[in-house]
Amino acid sequence: MRTRPLGREIAIALAFKLIALIALYFAFFGPAHRIRLTPAQMAETLSAGAPR
């Protein structure tokens, strides 16, 4: 059974959007962009207190 042209066009559009979303995730929100915070840095930040 052959796929209809409209169905094929919709499937191609959805696949392209999925690829674009994955690329955007890795470009802006991926593991390379995460802040690495050590317990020592957090303790230093919390012990500094709020400015008066």
For the stretch 7-29, pLDDT in tens is 999 999 999 999 999 999 999 99
Q: Report the percent of the chain where pLDDT is more than 90.
A: 50
Q: Which residue has the higher pLDDT, 38 or 49?
A: 38
**The pLDDT of residue 24:** 95
State the chain's maximal CA–CA distance in angstroms: 74
Distance separating alpha carbons of residues 14 and 22, to the nearest angstrom: 12
The CA-based angle 16-33-29, given to 5 degrees, is 30
